[in-house]
Structure 1
Amino acid sequence: MSKKNRTVNPAIYEGLKSVIGQPSDKVISYDAAVDDFIQYSAIKGLSKHTASSYAKELNQLRKSFVDQGVDLTNIREVKASDFEEFIRLQVAKGYAPSTINIRVRTARIFGNYCVKKGYTSNNAASGVSLLKMRHTVGATFTQAQLKRLLEAPDLSTFEGVRDLAIMLTFADTGIRLSELEAIRTTDVVFPDRAINIQLTKNGYARRIPMTKRLQTVLRAYMKARGLDEFTSSLFVTIEDKPLNARSIQYQIREHGRRSGVLDDVQCSPHVFRRTFAKFKIKAGVDIFTLQQLMGHSDITELRKYVAIYSSDLDAAIEKGIE
């Protein structure tokens, strides 16, 4: 009777260790682990924006580790103290707490992935505390500023009609820049009076009703745009090329500059989004309806708007007074 082989194939051995949660004997560098993580994010179905954000933040972390002299040839050599020093340096450079916290959260997600894959035995970033933040709401437009912005485009040109349609879509739907960039002509459904947002941050498509004025402007824009069999993107250049996020941001800033609004407040897609939330809260729209319209996973972010803009406290202050 032949004896069984008393050694196990190295590949099988590594796979078994991963199954039971033991760290691999294989040494992997920080860069290689990040590459694997980004590929995993794409396979998992995360949006291109999210995967790009992970890569950006982990690259910032890498630069800091290099400055600190951290050994990046072995991911297991990265310690909690290295992350704490990273935070200290970020604070010293004047980065906002919200920006630093995004980087720490990304590091935690990456660390969990490394543990799951057996690259490390523990997540060194898991015990690093986030910075305390003041819960504030950023700049928003007033009604007068919004009116000036919408009046800025030259409506005798294709670009002017397009830019009005873009800014009004932001103003009347509160969608994100990445969502607007991804809208296709078929996503605008006039019989249903709605825009179907397919590419969202949380991965769930949603329907946003169109206001009457947005319907009118989008009909005019789509007539000027015409149909192009090679370009399905809703918003395009005069050469029928899809309009990218950077170009959209630039055009909004330019209209802010021409209208003078940029002298008083930043002009960007996110300011439109904040303004949408402000006006809806002030108009009495409940937070759960607003959550659905804006595509938030939870109401945590929207509570800040309610605290500042809700009129419920004004109505309640006189009640109970004799």
Structure 2
Amino acid sequence: MAELRFDGKVVLITGAGRGVGRAHALSFAARGASIVVADHGVALDGSGHSNSPADDVVSEIQAAGGQAVACHESVSDEKGAAAMVQAALDSFGRLDTVINNAGINGPELFENHTADEFRRMTEVHYLGTVFVSRAAWGHFMHNGGGRIVNTISEGPLGIHEMMTAYGGAKGGVIGFTLALAAEGPKYGISVNGLSPRVSTRMSSPEVMSHVYGRPLESFAQLPNIFPPELCSPAAIYLAHPSCPLNGVMLACGGGQVLRIAVMQNQGYSTENLAAEDIAQNVDKVINMANAVNIGVGIQNLRSHHS
């Protein structure tokens, strides 16, 4: 099939100075997109600030013949989020896609987490996604559509320990993504989620060693198996005008892409349901063999927007 190009399109990517965001920025630029490289340049836990990560990626894109501009604002600040969208309009005159990728990490057992850590995770992951999406939403409505790709995670699914702060915030992003997807088609806007399966500083061997309590050497090969570049194809597909998906969550990395979904089964029904009925039929209640997807699923945006 023909290459999925983005010539004449403008893509805003948050957290684009390093890791997954940088890989996205370079991939989209190589396919013709003009890029807003938004990155506050913080440490892994959200502290500090540096212009260098965003500026370095802009220089890298420009050196390869592409177009890019840096924005050093924080997604956790509503005015900063609006400035990112404005940077696209001021520099390139339009905005077609938002990739909400900015994030921080700090895995710890629930009893050791502080309230400030929960608050910081929520401000960056959840509210940051909301603020940037909201800043772009009115522009997309006015211009007949747009695409939002939110970076979700498998952290909320209970498959790792030490994920209560991070996973809780990312769970909010999942809920926001699916709920917003229900509103988008009437404006020609798609909203999808992408869970990167990668090894970056947020999931480095050092971080994984801490989470699992295993030697650092056990995770030494992860950067080679799960480089961030191998999750960017899913971002490119979800952002392309030809993609019919809306309200869909994909996981991508290491050469594999798959769907994550919220499912519901037939359960068990009876008149005057009592707790004892549930206890006696719990196998039917939890059996997901014939479960179906909940939510918007797959839609053709053009048919809804016509």
TM-score, scaled to structure 1? 0.22
Of Structure 1 and Structure 2, the greater strand share is in: 2
TM-score, scaled to structure 2? 0.23
Of Structure 1 and Structure 2, the greater helix share is in: 1
Structure number with greater Rg is: 1
